Amino acid sequence: MAQVSAFSISEFTNPSGEIVYRVAGWLDGKRIRKNFTTRAEAAAERQSLELQLIQGETGVRAAATRLTDEQLHEAEAAFRRLEGAPKSLLFYLDYALANYRPPEREITVEKATAAYLATKKQEHERGMLSECQLKDIRLRLEDLDEAFPSRVLSTLSREALAAHCQRGNPKPKTFNNRRGILFTFFKFAFCQDWVAANPLEKIPHLRVAHRRGSAKTLSAEQSAKLMQHVEQIDGGALVPFFALALFAGIRPCVRTGEILKLKPEHVRLDTGVILIEPEVSKVRMKRSVEIQPNLAAWLRAYPLDRFPIIAPNLQHERAAIAKTFGLSHDIMRHTFISMHVAKYRSMGEAALQAGNSESIIRKHYLDLKTKDEAERFFSILPASLAPSATLPPALEFPRPAAPAAPLAVAS
């Protein structure tokens, strides 16, 4: 059965006697009456009015478009999915065009981190990156792999990476360290065209408001007792390691420290300096450390051609000594720097020899020691050169002189 139209077409005679074709009906509560000279024109108008009526009832409307039926259906589906979204369809389309990578450019987080770590290992082999820096990078990238397993790198958002850096409610310095390594990693990924932009650029550093306190150090007396104890172990086999760490400030870490890479030929007793080459230095910058007279005495008493800097049993013995004397990671180096500042009153010279900046020296080492204590520290000598069995001569405190007899007064 044919559907009855809401609009009718009928012949109508105008007052002038002309016969026309009238389209009549109701649309949105309004009466429609339109005259046309031909039935074909009237039929076209009726179809247009019927579409408007359907649009009002179902939301469907007629429109001129270059889109195919399939494209129209896809566009309608997209708008239905975006219902209630805060942005327009064009906004999301622009974002997709900017961030989507075709399959040949897509790479998972695991593959991307492996490729980046391979470049860092090459830098390490070429002496451009220290062992501790490489280890830190590797650990941060392993954390990223674990947090986003099997994810495509380009799908990691700024929000997700910010939450990753904030995991565990870290202190600002820890957050900044995490962000810094990931920033460099994504910079590398951007150059490889794996991501359209570096998402870490919009994650700001956290401001570190607090200042670290003074460095923990040994006193001159503690240093003397430490060296006396070391002399008694294995005939003094550990003396070069402790003497160089304590009296020259060589970074003493037994896993990644400068002292592990220091060679006997770097210690120049003839010229009075220790040459720290870039491949030895933690910060990859050459520096020279002046050999203090007491350090020269220790190195002559225990020459490096017979007493290697790194003894075979060093790690085990050092752990026992550290427990006995309460030695923290860098306490011997901190002691050298603070004593050097106290003796010479030059933060610039201390910074050059320690491989630090003057601001670090001022912040952590200034005014920790007195000049008198520094003199006693740099006078600690091997037992063979010290007449006292207890302390080196400079550490024996002078006894107060007996009061002078009163002068006789002539009567």
Q: What domains appear along the chain, each with residue ranges and CATH number?
A: 8-64 (3.30.160), 109-202 (1.10.150.130), 220-395 (1.10.443)
pLDDT confidence of residue 209: 60
Task: Using the predicted structure, report yes or no on whether residue 258 has a pLDDT greater than 80.
Answer: yes
More confident residue, 375 or 3: 375
Q: How far apart are CA 246 and CA 222, in angstroms?
A: 11
What is the rounded average pLDDT for all residues in the chain?
Answer: 84
Highest mean pLDDT among 26-35, 255-264, 298-307: 298-307
Summarised one tens digit per residue, pLDDT across range 337-390 is 999 999 998 888 888 888 888 888 888 888 789 999 999 999 999 987 754 433
Kindly indicate the confidence band of residue 228, based on its pLDDT and cuts at 50, 70 and 90: very high
Tally DSSP H helices, then E strands, for the chain.
Answer: 15, 6
pLDDT confidence of residue 55: 74
pLDDT confidence of residue 294: 95
pLDDT confidence of residue 362: 84
Whole-number Cα distances in Å, 219 to 212, 222, 370:
20, 5, 11
Q: Nearest to residue 334, comparing CAs of 219, 236, 210, 170?
A: 219
For the record, the structure tokens of 326 come out as 């309460």
Task: Using the predicted structure, report yes or no on whether residue 124 has a pLDDT greater than 90.
Answer: no
pLDDT confidence of residue 193: 87
For the record, the structure tokens of 29 come out as 């509560």
Summarised one tens digit per residue, pLDDT across range 136-194 is 999 999 999 999 998 999 889 999 999 999 999 998 889 999 999 999 999 999 999 89
DSSP assignment letter at 306: T
DSSP assignment letter at 267: E
Helix H or strand E encompassing 289:
strand 287-290
Q: How far apart are CA 87 and CA 295, in angstroms?
A: 71
Report CA Rg, the chain: 42
pLDDT confidence of residue 379: 95
